[in-house]
Structure formats: C-alpha cells, structure tokens
Amino acid sequence: MKVVGIGNALMDVIAFVDEAYAPRLGFHNNAVVHLERSKIESIIHGLPDAIVSAGGGAANTARAASYLGSNAAYAGMVGDDELGSYYRDELEDSGVETFLSRSVAQTGVYCALIRPDGGRTLLVSPGAALDLYLEPPDDDFFSPGSILYIECFLARERGFFMDCLRRARAAGMEIALDLSSRELVAKNREFLLALLPEYCDLLFANEDEFLALAELPLREGLGLFAEEGRTGGKGMEIVVKRAEMGAVWACGDRIASSPVREMRPVDSTGAGDAFAAGFLHGRSLGLLPERSLRLGNRVAEEVLGVPGFGVDPERLSRACQGILG
C-alpha cells in the first residue's frame, strides 16, 4: 500500500548544546518558542555543529515508509528559496514522490536545542508551511488504494483539512490521522470527535494526546473509541505511542501491545513519525497488530539512535528483517 503524507514542511535543525545555552539566548530550557525567521536564522548561524534535514511529521513518515520498501508520496509547502530546493531534493533522494507547492514566504524551520540530559528547547518559524491551504495538492495526490497520513496540525484551517479528508475518501483511500499535539487536541476536541467516525480508519496518538481526546483513562478510552468505529464500516484502529512503555493497538473488542527495549536516546526527533511508518508498513503486509507494533517500535529505535532523521536506510532494513521474517 502507498503511504501518502500531507503536513507541515519544515527543515529540521538539530544541535547538541550545554545546559546554559538556551538561557544565554534568552529562552527557558524546555520551552517551545515561535520566532520570526530573521531571529531564528541568527541563532542557527551560531549553533555548534548543527544537523540539517528535511522534516515535519508526515514527511518523516513518508521517508521512513519509503526506506522500508513502501511506495510513498508527500504534499507540503516550502518557500521559493534554497532551503525549499534542498527540502525537495532530500525527499526525492529518499524515494518519496513530492507534491510541494511554493510560497512567497520562506521555508519553515524547526530548531531543537538538545541538552546533555536529553531535554529540548524548541524554536519554530513555520513560514511557508502555514500557506499550504492556499494551494491544495492536485487530484493525482489522492491515489485510490493508498492510505492518507495527515497531520492534525492542518486542522487550523478546517475547510482545507476537511477538503483533504473528503477528497481522500472519494478516491477510495484509507485515512490515518496523527493527533500531533495535546494542546491542539484540547482546542479542537469537539471538531475531531465529530469527524472521526466518518473520516478516520486509523488514529495515531501519544498517550497525552489520546487522553486529551478521550477525557478518560487509557484503557477505558481505547475501549470506547475502538468499539464505536467508523460509520457503516469496520472499527477504527487506534494506536497509542507510550514512549518507554511501548505501544498499544485497539480495534473493536481487541487490544494488543508491544514493549520496547530500554535505551538512552540520542535524539527523539521523528521517532514517533518513524514508528507510524513501521506500523503502516507491517499492516500493509498483513502482519498481526502485535507484529506491526513491534516493527514500528524497531523503526523508531533506529531513529532514536541517531541525531535528526539521519537513519541509514540499509541499517533500518536489516534491523527490521528479524520481525518481518
């Protein structure tokens, strides 16, 4: 099955810094700060040994899916600038078919300042990414038999978001929704609850995001949402990522889980996105949910072991062979 991702196109900039680095710049450790592009550029130029790669949740999922052998495509918006060209080239070199629109705004940037204890200060300048609704992807993007992987971040433009879901459904696609942010879920809870029965086949969330949606303890929420399912069809599949506690899947009256190995992450950027790619790839091969969860965890583990999204595709493929058999 082809994985078709749509979301915020952001260049990831990763730097490993000391405890006092962010405070010296005027930011609290662990803060998430939105900045003007000129400000974030001045900070990036002074970073020690920064690692730069094409990023954004859906783009990372598409890349990892391609590395695993799935067909993959991605739609987003970048600027008509050097970073935008770099972004396109990197995705295409990863085997991802690109549907990138160009904006007069500059390509968006996501900068993570990572301390020795693993804590992160995030500096974000979304730039052109926010303009995707102005130039929706063409009809070729919505390919029958594929699965649309869409970031909930796009729900800030509800008309555009719903248009993507409707076009995907009309094309005969399955739809996987990633909740993306606890704060976003809390703000848009009623909107999301209304669309899930008709437009979501597969829901990805971390535990905080799912609890914000369900407003119930995890097991009770899983039981309620999985049983309600999708209008007129099979039950909605729910996958909750629980970090060091592994992941859990639910659909109908079935629940499955998969633990993870203990490890010290180098960088968590893109790990949840990679997990989604692993799960979707396993699911497309007809693996049982338990094995698809294991594959997702194994892919995420490889991404956790490197800075940014610098995973080696060949190493990733070898690491997964034991699960695929």
223-239 pLDDT, tens digit per residue, is 888 765 544 456 799 99
Tell me the pLDDT tens digit for each residue of 255-290.
Answer: 999 999 888 889 889 999 999 999 999 999 999 999
What pLDDT, on a 0 to 100 scale, did the predictor assign at position 120?
A: 94
Is the pLDDT at 111 greater than 90? The verdict is yes
pLDDT of residue 231: 40
Of the candidates 196, 201, 294, 189, the residue with the CA atom closest to the CA atom of residue 251: 201
Q: So what's the pLDDT on residue 285?
A: 93
Q: What is the pLDDT of residue 315?
A: 86
Domains of the chain: 3-11+54-115+126-178+260-324 (3.40.1190.20)
> Could you read off the pLDDT of 44-82 as tens digits, one per residue?
999 988 999 999 999 999 999 999 999 999 999 999 999
What is residue 262's predicted lDDT score, i.e. its pLDDT?
84
Residue-level pLDDT at 319: 79
Write the CB contacts of 128 (distance below 8 Å, at least 6 apart in sequence): 9, 77, 78, 79, 84, 102, 103, 105, 106, 107, 108
Contacts of 82 (CB under 8 A, 6+ apart): none
